[in-house]
């Protein structure tokens, strides 16, 4: 499954492994079966988000397919009691889910 990585016309954030797109990675909020959740802060607006970091290499093919299904479903759902998926970034090794 392929995900679009959005780019913006605003000034780019500093290049660092501490950034995912325009979000500065901060403290760890939690750990789960499929990955780690970190606090992210938008470098221009200061908006805070949760960033779920999924290590593709650590997951079996079936679990990775479940994560990809989760992403597809989350993109369709807009409800006040369900976390909103703002964006998805990907690298060869990781998926980054930008969450409300």
Annotated binding site for ATP: which residue ranges? 52
Residue whose pair of structure tokens reads 């805070």 in the numeric block? 48
Could you list the residues known to form a binding site, using ranges: 52
**Contacts for 31-36 with beta carbons within 8 Å, 24 or more apart?**
33/63, 34/59, 34/63, 34/66, 34/67
Residue whose pair of structure tokens reads 């500065």 in the numeric block? 24
């Amino acid at each position: 499954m392929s995900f679009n990585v959005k780019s913006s016309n605003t000034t780019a954030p500093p290049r660092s492994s501490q950034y995912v797109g325009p979000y500065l990675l901060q403290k760890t909020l939690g750990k789960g079966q499929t990955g780690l959740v970190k606090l992210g802060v938008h470098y221009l607006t200061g908006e805070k988000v949760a960033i779920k970091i999924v290590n593709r290499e650590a997951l079996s093919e079936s679990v990775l397919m479940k994560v990809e299904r989760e992403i597809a479903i989350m993109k369709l759902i807009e409800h006040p009691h369900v976390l909103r998926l703002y964006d998805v970034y990907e690298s060869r090794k990781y998926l980054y889910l930008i969450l409300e």
